[in-house]
């Protein structure tokens, strides 16, 4: 699918084509419509470029709720402690 967007020149002077693509890719990822890599690819960006620039639109790269974050942190602490004991 190809989509064309026409924006009046005088309305979006500080909004480049790259910005439009970033908004689209960020929204696709943020709304969980597509994966991060596919969102980047669909607008012609690398995954790295999208990750580095999504912050402009306050889109988080990692999506975790508080419980998932706490569980991940707890697992990381356990792994660090076991490596300490083994080392």
pLDDT in tens, the chain (87 residues): 788 877 777 766 677 888 889 999 999 998 989 999 999 999 999 999 999 998 887 887 777 778 888 888 899 999 999 888 886
CB burial of residue 22 (10 Å; 0-12, 13-18, 19+): buried
5: Cβ contacts below 8 Å, ≥ 6 apart: 20
pLDDT at 22: 92
* pTM for the structure as a whole: 0.65
pLDDT at 20: 87
pLDDT at 77: 92
Instruction: Parse the chain into domains and list their residue ranges.
Output: 17-86
pLDDT at 12: 63
pLDDT at 11: 66
């Amino acid at each position: 699918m190809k989509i064309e967007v026409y924006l009046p020149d005088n309305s979006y002077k500080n909004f480049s084509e790259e910005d439009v693509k970033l908004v689209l890719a960020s929204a696709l990822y943020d709304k969980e419509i597509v994966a991060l890599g596919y969102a980047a690819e669909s607008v012609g960006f690398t995954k790295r470029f999208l990750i580095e620039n999504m912050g402009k639109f306050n889109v988080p790269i990692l999506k975790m709720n508080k419980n998932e974050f706490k569980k991940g942190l707890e697992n990381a602490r356990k792994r660090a402690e076991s490596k300490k004991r083994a080392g």
